[in-house]
Amino acid sequence: MSQLRIGLIGNGSISDSHLLAYQCNPKAELVAICDLNESRASAGAKKYNIPYVYTDYRELLANPEVDAISICTWNNSHAEISIAALEAGKHVLCEKPLCKTVDEALRVEEAVRRTGKVFQVGYVRRHASNISVLTKFIDAGDLGEIYFAKASLVRRIGNPGGWFADKERSGGGPLIDIGVHVIDLCWYLMGKPRVKSVSGNTYNKLGNRSNIENYSFYKTSDYDASFNTVEDMANAIIRFENGASLMVDVSFSLHAKQESASISIFGDKGGAEIEPTLSIATEKHNTIINVEPQITTPGFDFQESFQNEIDHYIDSCLGIIETNSPVEDGVEMIKILNALYKSAAEGREIKF
């Protein structure tokens, strides 16, 4: 097989990034689209010239002309749709987070093992071009042993509302929504060490700040500010068995002076700042030096990273490469995130 026939489930805000990337890859053909909302599904079909349109994902999965799918639905349906798709013989790219609970995550992992289909978790930040550059430095030992990482994604007002704000459907707020990206990225770059313990705090102090005027932010396709059961912000420390540690803070609502994104990792030979832009700090001849890689995209470019992610998925489905974001990495992250929520609720450290 040299061309992959693609179905997309969930045609909301993020789906455009998937659809555009598939459209730009000559090895992929968009053949089916599904959304609970019929007009949204039809609009996507029209925009991307997709022949099969559904409102029930089971009908899309029953279509033998679909080889592989993207799941871009609410988090509470990721596991159910993933398992059904695998059992229908489809390869799966599932948006982050893998799902809500550890039980669901283990069931998806079991289905991947049983069916032997390709399963990729949508960890788009792993596919940023500055990460492939940094990985070469890490693999060459330029940072030495990485023993500390810290990541911060601060939104002053950025609760997307709708299902994102409904813990039942999302699994939580900024920790599971954006924390998942940066915890995963640091963990991946640190060499996926085994977790020893986690400690987290969550706060519900400001709500969704829907009173704020004249400020635009990311909203779900079904924005509704009247409902919010998720945390405003979370911070966490994750300890690993090899002695390394990771500190994180993320927010949807916070009285911060500005929006910010910063991710750094530190080793005994060098450190790397990943966001806002890639730079490496080290020493040479008893002098501290900062190395600024001269690359076209030194920071995180959303659509370029999605293109890399989709290209990687297609090549994995076609058997050209093995995915770098397997289901096991999704399972580990759901264990970490669930333990962090438990730690915050019980006010204590959770040991693994």
Ligand X SMILES: NC(=O)c1ccc[n+]([C@@H]2O[C@H](COP(=O)([O-])OP(=O)(O)OC[C@H]3O[C@@H](n4cnc5c(N)ncnc54)[C@H](O)[C@@H]3O)[C@@H](O)[C@H]2O)c1
**Contacting residues toward ligand X, per CB under 6 A:** 9-15, 34-37, 40, 57, 72-75, 77, 95-96, 122, 124, 162-163, 177, 220-222
Q: What is the smallest separation between the CB atom of 73 and ligand X, expressed in angstroms?
A: 4
Q: Which is nearer to ligand X, 36 or 190 (CB)?
A: 36
Q: What is the smallest separation between the CB atom of 282 and ligand X, expressed in angstroms?
A: 31
Q: Which is nearer to ligand X, 99 or 272 (CB)?
A: 99
Tokens of 122: 């949508």
- Pairing of β 271-275 and β 260-267: antiparallel
Amino acid at 337: L
- State the residue number with the nearest CB to ligand X: 12
Residue with tokens 């290209």: 311
Q: What is the smallest separation between the CB atom of 144 and ligand X, expressed in angstroms?
A: 31
Q: Which is nearer to ligand X, 77 or 208 (CB)?
A: 77
Give, for 87, the enclosing helix (H) or strand (E). Answer: helix 78-87
The CA distance from 45 to 11, in Å, is 10
Q: What is the smallest separation between the CB atom of 80 and ligand X, expressed in angstroms?
A: 8
Sheet of 4-9: strand order equals 52-54, 28-34, 4-9, 68-71, 91-95, 119-122
Q: Which is nearer to ligand X, 56 or 283 (CB)?
A: 56
Q: What is the smallest separation between the CB atom of 9 and ligand X, expressed in angstroms?
A: 5
The CA distance from 103 to 84, in Å, is 16
Q: CA angle, corner 209, sides to 206 and 212, nearest 5?
A: 140
Q: What is the smallest separation between the CB atom of 151 and ligand X, expressed in angstroms?
A: 15
Residue with tokens 């599932």: 94
Q: Which is nearer to ligand X, 53 or 344 (CB)?
A: 53
Q: What is the smallest separation between the CB atom of 94 and ligand X, expressed in angstroms?
A: 8
Q: Which is nearer to ligand X, 13 or 25 (CB)?
A: 13
The CA distance from 25 to 28, in Å, is 6
Q: CA angle, corner 155, sides to 151 and 158, nearest 5?
A: 135
The CA distance from 95 to 120, in Å, is 9
Q: What is the smallest separation between the CB atom of 19 and ligand X, expressed in angstroms?
A: 11
Q: Which is nearer to ligand X, 60 or 146 (CB)?
A: 60
Q: Which is nearer to ligand X, 244 or 275 (CB)?
A: 275
CA-CA distances (angstroms) from residue 215 to 11, 125, 257? Answer: 25, 26, 14
Query: 30 near 49, Cβ under 8 Å?
Result: yes
Give, for 79, the enclosing helix (H) or strand (E). Answer: helix 78-87
Q: Which is nearer to ligand X, 54 or 240 (CB)?
A: 54
In this structure, which long-range contacts are made by residues 315-322, counting pairs with CB atoms below 8 Å and at least 24 apart in sequence?
315/27, 316/91, 316/118, 316/120, 317/4, 317/67, 317/68, 317/91, 317/118, 318/1, 318/2, 318/4, 318/27
The CA dihedral of 236, 238, 244, 250, to the nearest 10 degrees, is: -40
Q: What is the smallest separation between the CB atom of 71 and ligand X, expressed in angstroms?
A: 8
